[in-house]
Amino acid sequence: MNWLDAVKWDRDGLVPVIAQEQGSGDVLMFAWMNREALARTAERGEAVYWSRSRQRLWHKGEESGHIQKVHEMRLDCDNDVVLLKVTQLGHEPGIACHTGRHACFFQRYEDGAWKAVDPVLKDPESIYK
């Protein structure tokens, strides 16, 4: 059996993917992959996702330079979620979020509202030209 066949793809041919920073254990982001994206990620050693908004493959960092070097790919117990252990490259500390923050999970629920608790490390206007 092809290793890609072990993945339980959803009805749209996608699988959810969590990118976790190898060093800190921080969850950087959540995204989607199709078969081609997962295969290219394995081949390149860099994260390639499927962009649902753009309807195309998206090599993380193709515009920003904030590439994710993949050290390990894991499949969960139900074969329906992929975990990537990555090093976030392109800025120190690494920026994974399009808002210019380290991680996409920068909002924390406090007192009945979502509050941004992590700083913007670089203005997104200067990242995406």
| Domain residue ranges of the chain, discontinuous segments joined by + | 3-117
Q: What is the pTM of this model?
A: 0.90
Reported as a pLDDT band with limits 50, 70 and 90, residue 110 is very high
In order of 19, 84, 87, the CA distances from 72 in angstroms are: 10, 6, 10
Residue 91 reports pLDDT greater than 90: no
pLDDT band at 86 (very low <50, low <70, confident <90, very high): very high
Specify the fold of 3-117.
Ubiquitin-like (UB roll) (3.10.20)
The region of weakest confidence among 62-71, 89-98, 115-124 is 89-98
The full length of the chain comes to: 129
pLDDT tens for residues 8-24?
A: 999 999 999 999 999 99
Ordered DSSP codes for 48-109: EEEETTTTEEEETTTTT---EEEEEEEE-TTS--EEEEEEE-SSSS---STTSSS-S--EEE
Instruction: For the chain, give the mean pLDDT.
Output: 94
Per-residue pLDDT band at 125 (split at 50, 70, 90): confident
pLDDT, tens digit (0-9, with 9 covering 90-100), for 71-80: 999 999 999 9
